[in-house]
């Protein structure tokens, strides 16, 4: 019963966050990037109060570059990284922002990318309150699993006594 309650609470709180993540970000998963190749992702900013988040993970530790360009064509970020990259940027104007990721190594790879407004992520902060319902639901699931394990142990010990 406790376990089922935990799952229900987690779903009730996680689905809106997942929907917002899907609506407010652009996601590439397992995108192949051969040597010297680039890929560009566009994101439409309509609210400059929300920071842009960029998370990139490559399939292996290779030299890569991330370049972010604002709607005016100005380069607002240009970073070289190896394997993983996470950074935020404050959009100055509404419009289309472009993130270009380049494989600068001599090895092919795949990349996973999240670009946009990640729910609960602010400028240099993460709002734990945005995830409190999910954390509560997960905690109840853990308590439910512990209660089930405890019940199994008591049942097994009780049978051994008889």
**Domain count across the chain:** 1
End-to-end CA distance of the chain: 28
pLDDT-derived band at 160, boundaries 50, 70, 90 = confident
E runs forming strands in the chain: 25-33, 38-45, 52-58, 63-69, 75-82, 84-89, 95-103, 109-116, 121-122, 125-126
Q: Which two tokens stand for residue 53?
A: 């988040």
| pLDDT tens profile 122-141 | 555 555 565 566 677 677 77
CATH of the domain at 59: 2.60.120.380
pLDDT value for 68: 95
Kind of pairing between the strands at 52-58 and 109-116: antiparallel
Pairing of strands 109-116, 75-82: unpaired
Q: Is residue 24 part of a domain?
A: yes
Taking Cα atoms as reference points, which of 120, 122, 77, 124 lies closest to residue 97? 77
- Predicted confidence at residue 65, as pLDDT, reads 95
Distance CA 82, CA 75 (A): 21
Q: Determine, yes or no, domain membership for 55.
A: yes
The range of the structural domain enclosing residue 82 comes to: 2-154
Does any domain span residue 13? yes
CB atoms within 10 A of CB 117: 20
Beta-ladder partners of 109: 33
Residue 59 pLDDT greater than 70, yes or no: yes
Name the pTM for this structure.
Answer: 0.66
The chain-wide mean pLDDT, for the chain, equals 82
Residue 160, domain member (yes or no): no
What single-letter DSSP state applies at residue 36? T
Whether 84 maps to a domain, the answer reads yes
């Amino acid at each position: 019963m406790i376990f089922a309650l935990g799952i229900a609470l987690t779903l009730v709180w996680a689905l809106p966050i997942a929907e917002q993540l899907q609506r407010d970000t652009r996601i590439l998963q397992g995108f192949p990037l051969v040597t010297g190749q680039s890929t560009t992702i566009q994101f439409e900013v309509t609210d400059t109060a929300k920071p842009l988040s960029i998370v990139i993970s490559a399939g292996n530790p290779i030299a890569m570059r991330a370049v972010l360009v604002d709607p005016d064509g100005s380069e607002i970020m240009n970073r070289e990284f190896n394997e993983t990259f996470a950074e935020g940027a404050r959009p100055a104007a509404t419009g289309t922002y472009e993130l270009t990721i380049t494989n600068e190594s001599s090895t092919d790879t795949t990349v996973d990318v999240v670009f946009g407004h990640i729910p609960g992520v602010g400028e240099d902060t993460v709002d734990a309150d945005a995830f409190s319902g999910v954390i509560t639901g997960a905690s109840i699931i853990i308590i439910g699993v512990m209660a089930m394990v405890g019940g199994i142990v008591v049942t097994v010990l009780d049978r051994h006594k008889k």
